[in-house]
Amino acid sequence: MSVTDVVAQLRRAHALLTEARRAAAQAEAAITDGATVFATATTGSTQPEVSQINRLAARSGQDVRAARDLFTQTQDLINGYCHEIAGHGIGSEPAPLVALTATDTVSGPTPATTLARHTDQHPDPAIRYAEQIAELRRNGTKVSPERIVFMQRLRTGRIVWLEHGGRWAGLAHILAGTKREEFESCGTAGERVPDLISAALDRGRLVGYIGEDRPVYEVEIDGDTRRVAITVSDNGYIVGAHPMSLDKVLRPHKERNER
């Protein structure tokens, strides 16, 4: 088998391991949800089966996390091996759609490879953000995947997310009443508000503060400069946001008494 053929197979194995990691993250999230439901339903029970099930749930979650870590280590080894034999890593050159074996009879990607490539665009937030959700839940943070608008990891490593929310927090709160019109008057259509918030947190520049301690970010989006004030809770949940005009005078420091 030529080096080119070997690299093609390595890429295929690497893609399948990516899918395995995401599946493990989904499994961990399901285990956590199931354990929570079971614990709620059996509160106060002294039956020995209850404690045994709780132990098994905890152990299975640990095993799934360990498996995901091993998948990551294996991918690192595959990448290193690819460097050794070809002089580049798995993702250094355009990968073929699929590496065919002698028994392959189709010319398109395998289902697993295709799924691995498109999980990041999956319409189900529970799948698209499986790894981030699992990480938040390990830290004791409550997340409702079905209500997620977007979730992202910032440059600092922190995970933040916006949910559809309700009267007091989330997207519904952000766009409630006349707030949608306020965003539109500052150049951002209502349906683009989540994109503005995401861009501001991801690559925006902190330009000051308003109110108690709400930071204001400036970001280039859709060819224009926009400012938006955003409140993020300690656990990363995006509570609120509102647009700011570019000529609004801002407080340079978080604390009002700082000079």
Residues of the chain with pLDDT under 70: 92-121, 256-259
**φ, ψ for residue 93, nearest 5 deg:** -130, 155
Put the strands of the sheet holding 224-232 in their side by side order.
Answer: 205-210, 214-221, 224-232, 238-244
Do strands 159-163 and 214-221 pair parallel, antiparallel, or not at all (unpaired)? unpaired
Ramachandran area for residue 137 (φ above 0: left; ψ -120 to 50: alpha; else beta): alpha
User: Cβ(152)–Cβ(161) under 8 Å?
Assistant: yes
pLDDT confidence of residue 104: 40
pLDDT confidence of residue 11: 87
CA distance 148 to 248: 31
For the beta carbon of residue 57, count every other beta carbon within 10 angstroms: 17
pLDDT confidence of residue 112: 42
For the beta carbon of residue 207, count every other beta carbon within 10 angstroms: 16
For the beta carbon of residue 242, count every other beta carbon within 10 angstroms: 18
Q: Helices 3-41 and 111-118 sit at what angle, rounded to 10 degrees?
A: 70
pLDDT confidence of residue 103: 41
Enumerate the β-bridge partners of residue 148.
163
As given in the structure block, the two tokens for residue 25 are 């993250």
CA distance 1 to 253: 63
What's the predicted TM-score (pTM) here? Answer: 0.58
Q: In sequence order, what are the residues at sequence separation of 6 or more whose Cβ sits closer than 8 angstroms to the Cβ of residue 128?
A: 119, 120, 121, 122, 151
SS3 content of the chain, % helix, strand, coil (to 5): 50, 15, 35
Could you tell me the end-to-end alpha-carbon distance of the chain, in angstroms, rounded to an integer? 69
pLDDT confidence of residue 107: 41
Helix H or strand E encompassing 207: strand 205-210
> Tokens 């005009």 appear where?
245
As given in the structure block, the two tokens for residue 125 are 């937030």
Q: What is the pLDDT of residues 181-232, one digit of tens each?
A: 999 999 999 999 999 999 999 999 999 999 888 999 999 998 999 999 999 9
